[in-house]
Copies of this chain bind each other. A is one copy, B any other.
Amino acid sequence: MSSSVRVTFQPENKTVSAAPGDTLLDVAGNAGISINSLCGGQGVCGKCRLKVVKGSVDFSSKGVGFLDRKEVDAGYVLACQAKLLQDDVEVWIPPESRQEEEQILTVDHLVHYTAPEVLEEGGASPSIPYFNPLCAKIFLNLPEPSLKDNLSDLERIYRELHRKFPDVKWEADFSCLKNLARLLRESRWEVTALAHMLDPHCYHLRALEPGDTSRRSFGVAIDVGTTTIVTQLVDLRTGQVTAVEASHNQQARYGEDVISRMIFACGRGGTDPLKNAVVNTINALISSLMASAGIKPQDIIAFVAAGNTTMTHLLLGLEPCTIRLEPYIPTATRFPWVRAADVGLIGHPEAVLHCMPCVSSYVGGDITAGVLACGMNDKPELSALIDIGTNGEIVIGNNEWLVCCSASAGPAFEGGGTRCGMRATKGAIQKVQIHGSKVTYETVGAAKAKGICGSGLIDLMAELAAEGIIDQSGKFIRLDHPQVRVVDGVPEFVVAFPHESETGEAVVMTQDDIGNLMKSKAAVLAAMKILLENLGLHFDSLERIYVAGGFGAHLDIEKSVRIGLLPDVPLDRVQFIGNSSVAGARQCLLSTHAFRKASAIARQMTYFELSVHPGFMNEFIAALFLPHTNMDIFPSVKNYLMARKASAEAQG
């Protein structure tokens, strides 16, 4: 019995060794080939289809339902369910099973903190209280000691730091003393201090290095998403974003959502593989950031990470197990800073990592970052932040109070749970317009259509409803439309025909897809309505609504209102702010004031538990309409639909 077999992946033509019993999904992962797997290898999403070209594998009956007869005959298997036998095999990965780089939402539409000029002292300035980076490199040109000026080496450094920062106490880490005498004399009394400035009254001296390195002082803001990780390299001297990189979270191998990852971590898998996967993902991004900016690891001295509570725990190597079980207790919600090197991140050996504070097990640091980034906690006006991911999080409040809730929106707007749903990567249909029989669409990168991303799904639903192709319950009613077809008795709308598509198959939205999207948008709106009503408020009370999420770069606010995902308020009240998580993390890198504000936000926020609320289910059912069962709360949509109908009848 051979102890290893060879697996060749096409079209890469990459061959690796593996052991009998390994799944093709794991082998691909170990070979560095990313294959779609929404369910994390449970055999329930059908996204990881491969074709076995040579040799044979053990493919269990589980997951066969995702393949039709023809596909099975052609050698298709689900990679997660196909186990190696004693045979060498060769497999081919079809385009739709391949994870490609997304057009990930790496930018945010938020004000950048920018120092008005490069600060000579390398950091804080009393005239710009909000620009006070968490860490700074400070060049010190020390006077040489003499019999008359015989302070100790450390006191000499303190004296110079006091000169530059008169109102601040300094404390050195003990490690700074090691070889200090030699360092100062060999560098001819010119050294650069690495300062950690979290506490405004007492700065910490973390390291000293020879010469003047103060011009190479960078931080990395990280949005640690369940699906996607986004990083920004920030120049801590100027506040400018120098480079941006994003990629999939390699943790997806262990489960697509936080629940399946927690199950993995708390089962025999343990926390380590998940921690290593996210750290490896971030390190790969840091390497790219360094390459773009032409900097070295020791130039990166601070990290701020924003993630949901589970992702933050996994990044820090903390067991997330108690988060998942009643009474749902995380290890921490405010996290002490930690040496980034201790977590395994590439950077200066004394760089620090701060994680954004979380509110509870189900409202994480990404939301705290979002509130901080949109600034709703600073304004007297009543605002809402809606962050739509696999969980839809909603925060309502102002400068006096903040209440939040979390609704299980499902992955529909991120490309999961729909036949042709995909993330906003190349070939994703991101905009759709329908005028009678004329259907037009735009794809990401103007490439051949491969699927539909969140913004495309919203557009498409809104257009189908506006054209009367589906009714208010989402049911297809105009089966005569040239792009509606019925397969096995179930109607679907063809957005792109096979000849237009990358895969040679039609890109469609099925009746089931509409049902899933309906549930997602209903969950978000119902959650928001219940939350407002419990506060004695209604949609119209909201003077501003900030929308954040992974829909793609182009979210059509008006169409989002028309399907009832967002409430019907004047459009100028609604602002799409993009990736508010990384924006909040960046603000904290650049302002300890912002970081303290984030702590206050997390402490201040009240969590409202929807799942136990008796009215939620009714509201959810009422919202399973386009836009809503109660059209009176969507007056502008009502008018729009009436006008559109009248115009159609006039033309008809």
Which A residues form the contact surface with B (CB < 8 A)?
145-147, 149-155, 171-174, 176-182, 185, 316-319, 321-322, 326-338, 342, 358, 360-361
Given contacts A321-B181, A322-B181, contact A147 B336 (CB under 8 A): no
B152 touches A331 (CB 8 A): yes
Q: Which of A149, A329, A338, A358 counts the most B-chain CB atoms under 10 A from its CB?
A: A329
23 A-B residue pairs with CB within 8 Å: A149-B327, A150-B329, A150-B360, A152-B329, A152-B330, A152-B331, A152-B332, A152-B333, A152-B360, A153-B322, A154-B334, A155-B332, A155-B334, A171-B336, A172-B336, A174-B336, A174-B338, A177-B316, A177-B335, A180-B332, A181-B322, A181-B331, A182-B319
User: Smallest CB–CB gap between A578 and chain B, Å?
Assistant: 29
In the complex, what distance in Å separates the CA atom of A282 from the CA atom of B334?
39
| C-alpha gap A154/B331 in the complex (Å) | 6
Give Cα A316–Cα B174 distance, bound, in whole angstroms. Answer: 9
Number of copies of chain A assembled together: 2
- Nearest CB of chain B from residue A507's CB, rounded to whole Å: 44
Contact of A177 among B151, B182, B327, B336 (CB under 8 A): B336
Contacts A150-B360, A182-B319 given; indicate if A177 touches B145 (C-beta within 8 A).
no
Give A149's nearest chain B residue, CB to CB: B327
- On whether the beta carbons of A178 and B317 are closer than 8 Å, the reply is yes
Q: Is the CB of B145 within 8 A of A327?
A: yes
Give chain B residues whose Cβ lies under 8 Å from the Cβ of A316: 174, 177
| A155 to B360 CA separation, bound complex (whole angstroms) | 11
Q: Tell me the complex Cα distance, A342–B178, Å.
A: 12
Whole-angstrom distance between the Cβ of A537 and the nearest chain B Cβ: 25
Contact between chains at B153 and A327 (CB < 8 Å): no
Chain B residues closer than 8 Å to A178, beta-carbon distance: 317-318
* A150 and B328 contact, CB distance less than 8 A: yes
A180 to B336, CA, bound (A): 13
Give the CA-CA distance A174 to B343 in the complex, in Å: 11
Chain B residue nearest to A201 (CB atoms) is B201
Contacts of A329 in B (CB 8 A): 145, 150-153, 181
Q: Which residues of B contact A322 (CB under 8 A)?
A: 153, 181, 185
**Distance in angstroms between the alpha carbons of A329 and B144 in the assembled complex:** 11
Least CB distance from A355 to B in Å reads 10
Output the least CB separation between A613 and chain B (Å).
Answer: 14
Q: Are A342 and B146 in contact (CB under 8 A)?
A: no
Which of B153, B154, B330, B336 is A153 in contact with, Cβ under 8 Å?
B330
Closest 4 CB pairs between A and B?
A154-B332, A174-B338, A152-B333, A174-B336
**A177-B318 in contact given A146-B327, A327-B147 (Cβ < 8 Å):** yes
Residue of B nearest to A147 (CB): B327
B319 and A181 form a contact (CB under 8 A): yes
A177-B332 contact in complex given A182-B319, A319-B182, C-beta closer than 8 Å: yes
Known: A172-B336, A174-B337, A338-B174. A331 touches B180 (CB 8 A): yes
Chain B residues, CB < 8 A from A334: 154-155
Q: What is the CA–CA distance of A171 and B337 in the complex, to the nearest angstrom?
A: 10
Shortest CB-to-CB span from A308 to chain B, Å, is 14
A336 touches B179 (CB 8 A): no
Other A-B contacts than A151-B329, A174-B335, A176-B336, 5 sampled, CB-CB below 8 A, are A146-B327, A153-B322, A153-B332, A154-B333, A155-B332
Rounded to whole Å, the gap between the CB of A404 and the closest CB of chain B is: 14
CA distance A360 to B337 in the complex (A): 34
Tell whether, in the assembled complex, residue A331 and residue B174 are in contact, meaning their CB atoms are under 8 Å apart.
Answer: no
CA distance A155 to B335 in the complex (A): 10
Q: How many angstroms from the CA of A361 to the CA of B145 in the assembled complex?
A: 13
For A153, A172, A174, A178, which residue has the most chain B Cβ atoms within 10 angstroms? Answer: A174
CB distance from A120 to the nearest CB of B (A): 28
Of A152, A155, A177, A319, most B-chain CB atoms within 10 Å: A152
Judge whether B174 and A333 touch: CB under 8 Å. Answer: no
**Interchain CA distance A327-B151 in the complex, whole Å:** 10
Instruction: List B contacts of A179 (CB < 8 A).
Output: 319
CB distance from A445 to the nearest CB of B (A): 42
- Give Cα distance in the complex from A174 to B317, angstroms: 11
Report the bound CA distance from A523 to B145 in whole Å: 29
Write out the residue numbers on chain B whose beta carbons fall within 8 Å of the beta carbon of A333.
151-152, 154-155
Bound complex: CA A414 to CA B326 (Å): 69
- Could you say which residues of chain B place their CB within 8 Å of the CB of A145? 327, 329
CB distance from A417 to the nearest CB of B (A): 29
Q: How far is the CB of A40 from chain B (nearest CB, A)?
A: 23
A151 cross-chain contacts in B, Cβ below 8 A:
329, 333
